[in-house]
Structure 1
Amino acid sequence: MSQKESVTISQNNKSLGKYRWSICGLLFFATTINYLDRQVLSLTWSDFIAPEFHWTNNDYGNITALFSIFYAISLLVAGRFVDWMDTKKGFLWAIGIWSIGACLHAFCGIATSGILTGNWLLGFGGSKEVISSISDTSLVISVSVDLFIFARFVLAVGEAGNFPAAIKTTAEYFPKKDRAFATSIFNAGATVGALAAPVTIPFIAKSFGWEMSFIIIGALGFIWMGFWLFMYDKPERHRKVSVEELAYIQQDDFADSQVEGFVPETSSKVSLAECFKYKQTWAFAFGKFMTDGVWWFFLFWTPAYLSSVYGMDSTEAALPLFVLYMITLLSIIGGWLPTYFVDKKGMNPYEGRMRAMLIFAFFPLLALIAQPLGYISYWIPVIIIGIAGAAHQSWSANIFTTVGDMFPKKAIATITGIGGLAGGLGSTLINKGSGVLFDYAKDTNMLFMGFKGIEAGYFIIFSICAVCYLTGWLVMKSLVPKYSPITDL
């Protein structure tokens, strides 16, 4: 395809087929389900699970930290798995496993009573009665935490496949200039999942028991699998992708072939050792390490923050959390902004993405004033966390697509997995550290910068979160200062 033809196709985009957006819609719903499943625990542990099993903040912090470790390691394997199995089968395996893992949480109470008493035939209600009659609470804590850790392990193994598969699918179905926008749309599923969670999960748990919240939400993944099975195929083979739409999707092929030293992509597999030879890999991994933990902290700990600092239960916190994640939906703009820089300012996709990411990196600095102004109203930190969340999701949509900018399609899932591993390690540090810090601050009534007790702990973590994005951007820019696609992998 010539450059002129590419421009013509771009200008007549409205006349093209739009099946690629149907695939993007599937990715959106998969990501929504992904985040719903991981949010069930954070919205039920404080009011429903902790009283039953006598958990502390540290117990919950251990579970979330280990989930982050499992998720991080699994991402490395999941990326390789998706590249090996290819997109269709890889995604089916991933969502099937994580849906099983989500449902497994519901049976941790029955398993706890079974292990401690030898009676495995009790239902949900019967197991609660048995657990409440056990005097050795330390044993209940130990067994229940271990069982939830196992359920989180299965969930993490499956959920790790979502983003490598989704990013690979986006690279298959969208040209480079549109990938950030497409990614921001499917990545908005994370926000919608987080948005739907507080207005559904606590009420399901309150009406039917916390166990049913895991089962009902977990079952959604099995429904999605049916749609994916019948709707997805490679664009070049898909009967619903027109010749014109396929040409639009593949418009980058000509431009890439003009790069000096370009080598046509082969179907050979890429080893991990090869991936680590490139600065582009390290730049992506460091950016993920510095920023993923911020999102996970807000996702896992905001309900606990509203409970600990403002005394809200999970149903009272539903409206503030709903508003918070509504604000986060502004992240869709984050996918549009690089396209504006490319189309209107003449930048290449990588330059446009990095310019956009620098802009987004400044918004989390507002977290520095979330706690200081929180005494006025809880709405101030809620709005600030929402803005920081929108900035993160905008950043995330763009950092993911830098992989497609730089690497051949055969390596995208693997590189995404490497970055996910780094992000998971960062998430582990912040989740484990937060649990330990919050218990210490609460127990010692710690004083820091005018704050006392657990509020001091939250102020410290908010401050760390605020500066992570600028730090990540500066290191990424120093490692890869300009557009440098990999042509020899």
Structure 2
Amino acid sequence: MNTSKNTKDKMTNYRWTICAMLFFATTVNYLDRQVLSLTWKDFIAPEFHWTDADYGDITAIFSIVYAISNLFAGRFIDWMGTRKGYIWAIGVWSLGACLHALCGWATEHVVGIHDAAEMISATGAVASTIAITSVYFFIAARVILSIGEAGNFPAAIKVTAEYFPKKDRAFSTSIFNAGATVGALVAPVTIPSLARYFQGLGIGNGWEMAFIVIGALGFIWMGMWLFMYKKPHDNPKVNAVELAYIEQDKQAEQDLQPTSSKEEKKLSFLQCLKYRQAWAFALGKFTTDGVWWFFLFWTPAYISDVYGFSSDSSTAQILIFVLYAITMLSIYGGKLPTIIINKTGLNPYAARMRAMFIFALFPLLALFAQPLGSYSYWFPIIIIGIAGAAHQSWSANIYSVVGDMFPKSAVATIIGFGGMAGGVGAFIINKSSGMLFTYADETQMTFMGFQGKPAGYFIIFCICAVSYLIGWFIIKALVPKYKPIVVD
């Protein structure tokens, strides 16, 4: 009898199983996003005659469509709920990922060319036509991918708000957000090798099957999610003790507002925009998201352009693997606010802002990435890894700020609004980078002792270095103190 009672009273930990599912979804999300960046320089560009500007246009349009889609994805997730909404999101982006594989066939059909070898050997006006046509097809596939991927973070943050109390949200967010790092970590050691393997088998030019294999992972996740996810109070795998732990903030809120026993009122999108807290989150994302996306999309090209290592070379794979292995340190970034709260008694917002200021200092090292890179390519790789870890730690905390301040019914909407702002920032930096690198290469531009593309990279690194401090001061100016939104 006592054993049975103790078993019943022992808290289940199903919330961490759900967190693991969010982690795997985010990993797949970033794997799908990385296939293009790891294959374009060495597999796709020679076939379609792309320039840096072409690639910059594709990534920029992906970013802006992702931005706009975030605006609607948040509302969609709030409307559909996390179970169905997540299924739709990952289904659409997995389809978009797989559709990239058809871009070569579609280009051949439109241009009237029979195979990849004929496209590679094309010159003059034909080569230009191939480039333009293929870019349009890749943009179309990228648009579908971006529409689906926009749903990942609004859904994941909403699930976190449903399954974790406020004090644990930054840590749980940092865990699932580490999926972005793991996806970026696994990608360089698998995707170029997959492309080269299928190229050796004579299946297309190799890169096509890389998109299909990675894209198929999302469909596997969908089946698992359907069977595993229910809201905490409906989930038989969550016992009463765990449910009480998950909902501990409800009691605290009732103690503060004993009269608020009615159902939580939903905020419209326009109502959300009336709050400075929403704009603080959005501007914080705008100033910093582009930095991560720049490192994600351009690091393989940087290694190739500046140091001459192709994406499928063992050196490039080791460099990128080490870079993202360093970013795994970000998993501890979600712990820092909890440590600060326990030691100082500060409220969650104040603790997060203190932690975020610390994280904002590390990207300043990017100012030295290019100068130190003259001595060894390991210096910029290590510095970018540290900056990436700081970004992911920053990201876990800025996401958690939304759950701290907004009611659950508005969380996905605000996350979507901030995601849109972050996507706009990413659009600007990706578009500008592609144009800058092409210009720097053609004119052999000089900057601070560097010439050509290295000069262009140095300029972007300097912008990345200061972005987080700018974002922190904007957030602090708009929301100097903890002020949760109370809906009347």
Shorter-chain TM-score: what band? Answer: over 0.9
Partner of 2:359: 360
> 2:87 matched to 1:97?
no
TM-score (normalizing by structure 1): 0.94
Contact 1:88/1:232 (8 A) holds in 2: yes
Aligned equivalent of 1:295: 292
User: Unaligned stretches of 5+ in structure 1?
Assistant: 1-13, 120-125
208, 212, 221: which one aligns with 1:211: 208
Q: CA deviation at 1:258?
A: 3.4
Deviates more, 1:386-395 or 1:478-487: 478-487
Alignment of 1:279-358 (within 5 A): 279-316=276-313, 317-358=316-357
Structure 1 residue aligned with 2:433: 434
Residues in 2 aligned to 1:376 and 1:446: alpha-carbon distance in whole angstroms: 21
Confirm whether residue 87 of structure 1 aligns to residue 82 of structure 2: yes
SS, match of residue 485 in structure 1: coil
CA–CA distance in structure 2, aligned partners of residues 268 and 149 of structure 1:
40
Distance 1:89 1:219 in 2: 19
The Cα shift of 1:268 comes to 4.8
For residues 350 and 327 of structure 1, the distance between their equivalents in structure 2, rounded to whole angstroms, comes to 27
Match of 1:47 among 35, 42, 48: 42
Larger deviation: 251-260 or 308-317?
Answer: 251-260
Please point out which of 188, 196, 201 is paired with 1:198: 188
For 2:147, the aligned partner's letter is V
2: CA distance, partners of 1:479 / 1:389: 26
- Residue of structure 1 equivalent to 2:115: 127
**Alpha carbons 1:113, 1:130 under 8 Å: kept:** no
Residue 16 of structure 1 and its aligned partner are, at CA, apart by 2.0
Shift of 1:311: 0.4
Distance (whole Å) between structure 2 residues aligned to residue 299 and residue 474 of structure 1: 25
Q: Does 1:247 align with 2:235?
A: no
CA shift for structure 1 position 259 = 3.6
Separation in structure 1 between the aligned mates of residue 225 and residue 259 of structure 2, nearest angstrom: 34
CA spacing shift, 1:265–1:78, aligned 2, 3 Å: farther
Spell out structure 1 runs of 4+ moving beyond 4 A: 260-265
More moved, 290-299 vs 256-265: 256-265
**Residue 347 of structure 1 aligns to which amino acid in structure 2?**
L
Q: CA RMSD in A?
A: 1.4
How far 1:131 sits from its partner (Å)?
Answer: 2.8
Does residue 111 of structure 1 match 2:99?
A: no
Which residue does the alignment assign to 2:4?
none
Alpha-carbon shift at residue 350 of structure 1 (Å): 0.9
Rounded to whole Å, the distance in 2 between the matches of 1:385 and 1:79 is 30
Q: Work out whether residues 328 and 393 of structure 1, in 8 Å CA contact, stay in contact via their aligned partners in 2.
A: yes
In the TM superposition, residue 129 of structure 1 has moved relative to its aligned partner by 3.7
Partner of 1:38: 33
Distance 1:188 1:280 in 2: 25
What displacement does 1:265 show? 6.6
Matching residue's letter, 2:63: S
Q: Which residue of 2 aligns with 1:446?
A: 445
Q: CA deviation at 1:269?
A: 3.8
1:22 is aligned to 2:17:
yes
CA distance in 2, matches of 1:152, 1:57: 17
Give unmatched runs, 5+ long, in structure 2: 1-8, 199-205
Cα separation, 2, equivalents of 1:272 and 1:453: 45
Pick closer, same or farther for the CA change 1:487–1:203 going to 2, 3 Å: same
Q: Is the 8 A contact 2:31 2:184 kept in 1?
A: yes
1:5-51 per-residue CA deviation (whole Å, 9 max, x = no partner) reads xxxxxxxxx94211000000000000000000000000000000000
Partner of 1:149: 139
- Taking the aligned partners of 2:323 and 2:482, their CA distance within structure 1 comes to 35
CA contact (8 A) 2:46 2:120 kept: no
CA change 1:99–1:380 in 2 (3 A) is: same
Q: What is the aligned length? A: 469
